[in-house]
């Protein structure tokens, strides 16, 4: 970041009749001196200025295309990719001075390729070398002709589309203009050459192929960290601008040919001169202290280049001159503008946006760390049982039990039942209270009445949780009543469990795994789901994705994880069976204990029966053998019960652990699959399946030989040759079509 001046390089095109008496170029000192006093002598002394001395960042004469590129252009491209700073490279000058040669070069000759193909090559080289950054490149190519914008990348769109220049947080852009994603160098070159074919060409006196429009090829670059280490997305643009000829109308109109198209040429020249004049005015305003009003909005050209001339940009201008004496006036005018351009200072900064997905990951990491810290803190102060994660269904159920116990408790002093430990805990308790209330409200008045009366009656009997006991018959753990298991009352079923039952396809973890419809949500729940079960709402894309997913987990890269998942599921099934078994044993043991308790109590009551009362013998206090055996059995049953209970606890935690690991494996499969699918894994799959398609026909074999040859000669030139070939094919197809039409 910092203030960068606009860089200006003068390029003088080769000519056999260079005006050496008038133009003195010093390439070492980067100066150009012009002296026109000789040519004015004939008309006598003049008070007009007749000599000038200009100094620029570089002055190049008879320089090759590679040297021109290395002179600063490479740095601007590097800045756009590496630092995310907008870059603009433009060519200014009179028609025929070499602007197009400089910017595009000769599309038929690799050695003479210009700045655009070289910049394209550099962009992709730099992208490839920065593997830690995920870069997305789109390109657009527009032409501004008579202050209208034309889309060079859409031939059908060449007819009148009044594109508007708009501005947002990412900068200035043309609304609706095609931006083609170009993942490779060849893709970008294809678009450049395609645009070249579309350029509006108007006959002109100075150059038959001259165009009377400004052309702007733009890279739109977005970069973000692949590792998620940084949530920022950096947006930058790189404009390559080939300006229309800057010569004055007077000169343009001197030509005989042009008289035939007088009005068209006049109109074109007016627009060109207007836009170049405003370009100059913007430049002057940017170079001055008072920058309150810079007339960007006056023309489409200045508006499009708004964030490339001033503000956030590295700017390089090639001022092309044609050093012949008949063009001396245009040369002086070009050099004057170039000199003014050098005064413009740019504040070069990158445009940074925030990627919400990375930000979420960052927050998740922070939350995890904070939770760990809290747990450590709790451990230090010996505080146990505090839950910082979402309550599991089992924990919710446990809380529901506490809430029921609390509401059925005889006094308000039983507040301790709720064991308040954290805000999350309190919130969950409230949730359970609400649930209880809603269930109570929706229950029939009779049931409510029965429940209330039973509850009251039991309170009167001094039995604190009669309803609870009834409702939760054989469910739960109560210290003096022993642990019982069975079917939970309907009201106690946590909401989340109900959701799971109703709609298997929507799971809380869908969000956790970052899945959105129509991602294979059904696949996450159970691989058993068949295609038939994939209900309406899934389009072809979803079906294709489902197919890809099946491949991914059966023979693709997800196979191994899927086997692990299936193993874990099998273990879960076994643990569930074991739990069922322990539960029924526990219930049986509980029944045995209760029966024994009843029998022991009966024996005890009989011993103390009225018949025996009053006798007061010690024998009454003596337990007979039968009672003793019953008591012993009861003790043994209780011992068995505890062992079973410990087993149950252990199996439950094993069950939870396995459940969690299943969820993790599912999430891993789904997220890995998403990434694999996004990166075109399914195409690779298709390729694998349709092996025969890989066989080359004769034409393809020839192409392959040609590619091998070019690659052996100069690997860097391959993309250029491929794009060039494509352009040739397009040209010959369109000329054949024209022939057919005739
Ligand atoms: N530096 C150079 N080396 C070799 N040839 C050049 C050079 N500069 C220009 N030319 C040749 O001069 C001719 C005119 O150049 P070019 O078309 O680039 O001019 P221009 O300034 O873009 O004109 P226009 O405004 O019409 O687009 C072309 O044939 C080009 O090959």
Contact 401/435 with Cβ under 8 angstroms? no
Whether 713 is in a domain gets the answer: no
Note whether 444 and 546 are same-domain residues.
no
Report the pocket of ligand 1 as residue ranges, CB < 6 Å. Answer: 13-14, 93, 95-101, 207, 210-211, 245, 320
Note whether 221 and 297 are same-domain residues.
yes
Sign of CA dihedral 522, 523, 527, 530: positive
Note whether 429 and 399 are same-domain residues.
yes
Q: Which atom in ligand 1 lies closest to the alpha carbon of residue 244?
A: 25
ipTM of the complex: 0.96
Note whether 430 and 289 are same-domain residues.
no
Substitution site in 65, 101, 112 for ligand 1 pocket (most atoms within 8 Å of beta carbon) = 101
Contacts 24+ apart (CB under 8 A), 423-429: 424/387, 424/388, 424/391, 425/386, 425/387, 425/399, 428/391, 428/395, 428/396, 428/399, 429/399, 429/402, 429/403
Question: Which of 502, 525, 546 is where one domain is finished?
Answer: 502
Whether 741 is in a domain gets the answer: no
Burial (CB count <10 Å: 0-12, 13-18, 19+), residue 379: exposed
Give me the pLDDT at residue 185, please: 92
What separation in Å is there between the alpha carbon of 44 and the centre of ligand 1? 36
Coarse DSSP helix, strand, coil percentages of the chain, rounded to the nearest 5 percent = 55, 15, 30
Note whether 540 and 435 are same-domain residues.
no
Note whether 523 and 484 are same-domain residues.
no
d(CA 37, CA 352): 54
Whether 738 is in a domain gets the answer: no
Contact 359/224 with Cβ under 8 angstroms? no
Q: Which atom in ligand 1 lies closest to the alpha carbon of residue 204?
A: 26
Give me the pLDDT at residue 461, please: 43
Question: Which of 441, 468, 502 is where one domain is finished?
Answer: 502
Helix (H, G, I), strand (E, B) or coil at 22: coil
DSSP 8-state symbol, 18: B
Contact 225/358 with Cβ under 8 angstroms? yes
Q: What angle do CA 199, 200, 204 make, to 5 degrees?
A: 120
What separation in Å is there between the alpha carbon of 98 and the centre of ligand 1? 3
Note whether 38 and 71 are same-domain residues.
yes
Burial (CB count <10 Å: 0-12, 13-18, 19+), residue 415: exposed
Q: Which atom in ligand 1 lies closest to the alpha carbon of residue 95?
A: 25
Whether 365 is in a domain gets the answer: no
Place of tokens 């369109």: 734
Note whether 148 and 9 are same-domain residues.
yes
CATH of the domain at 670: 1.20.1270
Give me the pLDDT at residue 435, please: 84
Q: Which residues of the chain have pLDDT under 50?
A: 1-3, 200-210, 256, 448, 451-538, 689-693, 739-742
Closest C-alpha residue for ligand 1 atom 15: 98
Substitution site in 113, 207, 246, 248 for ligand 1 pocket (most atoms within 8 Å of beta carbon) = 207
Note whether 80 and 118 are same-domain residues.
yes
Question: Which of 447, 467, 502 is where one domain is finished?
Answer: 502
Q: Which atom in ligand 1 lies closest to the alpha carbon of residue 93?
A: 21
CA atoms within 13 A on the CB side of 347: 3
Total domains in the fold of the chain:
3
18 phi and psi, to 5 degrees? -65, 135
Whether 525 is in a domain gets the answer: yes
Give me the pLDDT at residue 324, please: 92
Whether 256 is in a domain gets the answer: yes
Give me the pLDDT at residue 13, please: 93
Q: Annotated binding site, which residues?
A: 93-100
Contact 247/161 with Cβ under 8 angstroms? no
What separation in Å is there between the alpha carbon of 60 and the centre of ligand 1? 15
Whether 360 is in a domain gets the answer: no
What separation in Å is there between the alpha carbon of 734 and the centre of ligand 1? 26
**Considering just the CA atoms, what is the radius of gyration of the chain in Å?**
42
Note whether 405 and 495 are same-domain residues.
yes
Note whether 104 and 233 are same-domain residues.
yes
Note whether 666 and 564 are same-domain residues.
yes
Provide the domain limits for residue 435.
385-502
Reported as a single tens digit per residue, the pLDDT across 458-489 is 444 443 333 333 333 333 333 333 333 444 44
Whether 719 is in a domain gets the answer: no
CATH of the domain at 139: 3.40.850.10
What separation in Å is there between the alpha carbon of 245 and the centre of ligand 1? 11
């Amino acid at each position: 970041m910092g203030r960068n001046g606009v860089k200006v390089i003068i390029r003088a095109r080769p000519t056999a009749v260079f005006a050496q008496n008038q133009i003195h170029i010093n390439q070492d000192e980067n100066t150009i001196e012009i002296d026109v006093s000789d040519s004015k002598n004939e008309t006598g002394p003049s008070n007009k200025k007749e000599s000038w001395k200009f100094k620029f960042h570089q002055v190049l004469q008879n320089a090759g295309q590679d040297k021109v590129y290395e002179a600063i252009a490479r740095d601007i491209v590097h800045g756009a990719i590496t630092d995310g700073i907008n870059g603009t490279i433009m060519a200014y000058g009179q028609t025929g001075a070499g602007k197009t040669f400089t910017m595009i070069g000769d599309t038929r000759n690799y050695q003479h390729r210009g700045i655009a193909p070289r910049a394209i090559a550099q962009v992709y080289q730099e992208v490839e070398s920065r593997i830690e950054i995920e870069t997305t490149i789109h390109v657009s190519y527009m032409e501004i002709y008579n202050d209208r914008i034309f889309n060079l990348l859409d031939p059908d769109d060449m007819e009148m589309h009044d594109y508007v220049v708009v501005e947002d947080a990412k900068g200035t852009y043309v609304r609706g203009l095609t931006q083609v994603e170009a993942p490779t160098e060849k893709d970008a070159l294809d678009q450049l050459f395609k645009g070249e074919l579309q350029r509006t060409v108007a006959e002109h006196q100075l150059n038959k192929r001259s165009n009377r429009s400004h052309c702007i090829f733009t890279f739109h670059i977005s970069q973000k960290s692949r590792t998620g280490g940084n949530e920022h997305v950096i947006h930058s643009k790189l404009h390559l601008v080939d300006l229309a000829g800057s010569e004055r109308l007077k000169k343009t109109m001197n030509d005989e040919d042009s008289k035939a198209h007088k009005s068209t040429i006049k109109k074109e020249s007016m627009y060109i001169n207007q836009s170049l004049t405003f370009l100059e005015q913007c430049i002057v305003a940017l170079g001055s202290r008072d920058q309150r009003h810079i007339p960007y909005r006056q023309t489409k050209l200045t508006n499009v280049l708004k964030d490339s001339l001033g503000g956030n940009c590295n700017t390089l201008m090639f001022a092309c001159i044609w050093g012949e004496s008949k063009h001396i006036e245009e040369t002086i005018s070009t050099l004057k503008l170039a000199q003014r351009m050098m005064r413009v200072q740019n504040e070069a900064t990158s445009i940074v946006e925030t990627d919400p997905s990375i930000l979420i990951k960052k927050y998740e990491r922070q939350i995890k760390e904070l939770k760990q810290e809290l747990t450590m803190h709790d451990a230090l102060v010996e505080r146990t049982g505090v839950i910082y994660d979402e309550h599991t269904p089992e924990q919710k159920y446990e809380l529901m039990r506490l809430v029921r116990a609390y509401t059925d408790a005889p006094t308000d002093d039983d507040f301790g039942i709720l064991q308040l430990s954290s805000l999350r805990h309190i919130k969950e308790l409230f949730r359970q209270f609400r649930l209880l209330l809603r269930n109570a409200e929706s229950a029939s008045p009779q049931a409510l009445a029965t429940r209330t009366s039973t509850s009251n009656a039991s309170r009167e009997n001094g039995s604190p949780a009669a309803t609870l006991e009834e409702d939760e018959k054989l469910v739960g753990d109560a210290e003096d009543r022993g642990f019982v298991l069975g079917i939970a009352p309907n009201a106690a079923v946590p909401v989340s469990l109900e959701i799971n039952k109703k709609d298997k396809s929507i799971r809380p973890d869908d969000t956790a795994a970052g899945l959105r419809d129509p991602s294979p949500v059904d696949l996450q729940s159970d691989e058993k789901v068949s295609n038939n079960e994939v209900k309406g709402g899934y389009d072809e894309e979803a079906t294709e994705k489902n197919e890809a997913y099946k491949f991914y987990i059966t023979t693709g890269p997800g196979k191994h994880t899927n086997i692990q998942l299936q193993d874990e599921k099998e273990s879960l099934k076994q643990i569930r069976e074991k739990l069922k078994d322990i539960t029924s044993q526990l219930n049986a043991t509980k029944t045995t204990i209760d029966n024994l308790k009843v029998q022991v109590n009966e024996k005890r009551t009989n011993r103390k029966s009225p018949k025996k009362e009053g006798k007061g013998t010690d024998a009454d206090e003596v337990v007979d053998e039968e009672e003793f055996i019953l008591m012993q059995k009861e003790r043994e049953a209780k011992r068995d019960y505890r062992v079973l209970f410990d087993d149950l606890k252990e199996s439950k935690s094993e069950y939870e652990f396995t459940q969690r690991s299943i969820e993790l494996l599912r999430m891993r499969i789904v997220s890995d699959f998403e990434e694999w699918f996004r990166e075109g894994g399914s195409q690779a799959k298709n390729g694998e399946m349709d092996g025969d398609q890989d066989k080359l026909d004769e034409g393809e074999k020839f192409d392959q030989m040609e590619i091998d040859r070019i690659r052996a000669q100069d690997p860097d030139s391959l993309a250029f040759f491929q794009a060039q070939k494509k352009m040739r094919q397009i040209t010959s197809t369109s000329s054949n079509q024209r022939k057919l039409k005739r």
